[in-house]
Structure formats: C-alpha cells, structure tokens
Structure 1
Amino acid sequence: MKRLLDLIKNKFFLVTVAFMVWMTFFDKNDLFSQYDYHQQLNKLKQEEAFYKTETDKVNKDLSELTSDKAKLEKFAREKYLMKKDNEDVFVIVHDSKK
C-alpha cells in the first residue's frame, strides 16, 4: 500500500498520467480523431482503386473506338440508340418490380 501511495505522489508519474489522459481525450489529434482519419483514409483508398479501374476501362474503350470503325458503330448503336436512315430501333425496357 505504501508503494502505491508513493507512486501516486511521484510528480513524474502524475505528469505522465496527465499527459496520457490529455493525448487520449483532449488533444486535437486524440485517439478518436485518429481512428476517424484512418477510416476516411481507407475509404479514400478504396475510391481511388475504383476510379483507377474505371479510368483503365474507359481508356481501353477509347482506344478500341478510335481504332476500329465497326466497334464505334456498335457502341453508338448500343449506348446512344443511333440508327441508319432505313432502320427502326426497338427499345425493350424490363420492369424491375418483378
């Protein structure tokens, strides 16, 4: 009991405990903020990976469309419903409620 009382009266121990409490709860960069920053960083890394893959897909499509006229025509017909003068385009819409 005496050792515990001496430890509590030690000024270095008290300063260390006060510092730890301050850094854990009251500082601008406390543990809770660091956890939130870590979560945001992980989310941003996932978004970065997603956008990189999407950019790669778009660049691949772009290179295919600029190099091949048949693929360009297919793309225009599928995405923008373009047609030739003597053709009819039928658009089938599936009901998503089923």
Structure 2
Amino acid sequence: MTHEQRERRSYFIGFAACAAWTALAFGAVILRLDQITALWIIGVSALAQVVLQFRYFLHIDFSRQKREDLQLILFSALLLAIMVGGTVWILADLDKRMM
C-alpha cells in the first residue's frame, strides 16, 4: 500500500467515524430523549469528534515528534478556557451587582 493510499484510507476512516458521531448526536435530538441524556450524548459526541479530527485529519498522535504539536494545542485550549471563564465570571459578578 502506498503512502497516498494509506493517507486516503485514513481520511475515509476519519470521515466515516465523524459522520457516525454526528448522526448519533442528531439521533439523540430527533428521538426526543430526555434533556439530560441528550446533552450527555451531544457532549460525548463533541469530544469524540475533537479526538477523531486531531488523529485522522491533523495527524496528531502520541509519537515524539507530534507530542509538541499536541502540547501547543492543549496550551492554546487552556488559554482560551481561562479567557472565556474569566469573562463569564466578570459578567456574572457585574450582573449580580447591578440587580
């Protein structure tokens, strides 16, 4: 199997897996499951999609060379979470003081 065929196969597997997780999330809503169950299914589906896209489309795995890329992505996510969390905290505090 050539490198191009392996690459194409990897993309196809990633696409099929992401489509299946998307269908699962849509199915939870279409079947009108109770709200908590549907939210859990959607949340797990979202996390699975992130992992699948890192692995199959961005080619991020646990090899030594790719580990630095993964650390960079995780650090960026941490900074984003701090900024969003701080903004929500400040706005909630302002709302409490205004009411």
How does the TM-score come out when normalised to structure 2? 0.35
Larger % of helix: which?
2
More relative contact order, 1 or 2 (CA 8 Å, 6+ apart): 2
TM-score, normalized by length of structure 1? Answer: 0.35
